[in-house]
Amino acid sequence: MKGALDPMTTQKKRITKASRPVVDREVWLDAARAILIDQGVEAVKVEPLAAMLEISRSSFYWHFKNRQDLLDALVDYWKVVNDRALKALVQPRGDDPKEKEELARVRLRQLVSLFIDERQFSSEFDVAVREWGRKDASIAKLVERVDKKRISHLQKIFSDMGHSNADSLIRAKILYFHQLGYYLTGIKESEEIRKRVAPRYLEVLSGIKL
């Protein structure tokens, strides 16, 4: 019939931002991470997040009690997302000394990919949380604990290569602090250059040609 409304068109008109389906919790966290990286923790608020996602603020409260609940979840998200791959590298994979040494070498090579790729370990997310820690003592203490845990993961790799505990700790700290410095100083090198020089860095730190 001429002039009749298309049912689908009518339905689409009824779907406003306020009535869109509730987005997943991780979508909110990803948006919060993006704002944290770009603008700092002060900008991580409900309204800017809702605007970024083009969805009603009411959707936020399906997942979080308030802004502080979001910030707490964001910190937990950082710990999980940025540490998942590193933890996987040090999972027990046998007791044979020769096997452990060879696996440790493999893990060091995998570290090259982990630090260069940055899809499994986001340097920008790490730097943003550290900047947050400059303004919040509780976050600073958390970052310190996470740093110690990461260093212990790296120490395990060097220990499995046959280095003493003391030596492994020093090598782990040098590697970790070097990588942090690389991120914090904002050094920009092509992926090609980083891939070429990274194995040499690891050879110097491990004392073994990889």
Write the CB contacts of 12 (distance below 8 Å, at least 6 apart in sequence).
Answer: none
118 phi, psi to nearest 5 deg? 65, 15
pLDDT of residue 197: 81
Position 207: which residue type? G
Query: What is the per-residue pLDDT across 85-131, written as a single tens digit (0 to 9) for each?
Result: 778 777 756 666 677 777 877 888 787 777 777 777 888 999 999 99
Question: Which string of b and e fits 75-86 if b means at least 16 CB within 10 Å?
Answer: bebbeebbbebb
Write the CB contacts of 30 (distance below 8 Å, at least 6 apart in sequence).
Answer: none
pLDDT of residue 36: 97
Q: Is the pLDDT at 13 greater than 60, yes or no? A: no
pLDDT of residue 196: 82
DSSP 8-state code for residue 18: G
Q: Across all residues in the chain, what is the average pLDDT?
A: 82
- What whole-number distance in Å separates Cα of residue 147 and Cα of residue 134? 15
Burial class of residue 16 in the structure, from the number of CB atoms within 10 Å of its CB (0-12 exposed, 13-18 middle, 19+ buried):
exposed
* C-beta of residue 23 within 8 angstroms of C-beta of residue 59: yes
- What whole-number distance in Å separates Cα of residue 47 and Cα of residue 49? 5
Question: Rounded to two decimals, what is the model's pTM?
Answer: 0.77
* C-beta of residue 35 within 8 angstroms of C-beta of residue 49: yes
* C-beta of residue 54 within 8 angstroms of C-beta of residue 118: no
pLDDT of residue 1: 41
Query: What is the per-residue pLDDT across 15-70, written as a single tens digit (0 to 9) for each?
Result: 334 444 467 899 999 999 999 999 999 999 999 999 999 888 888 999 999 999 99
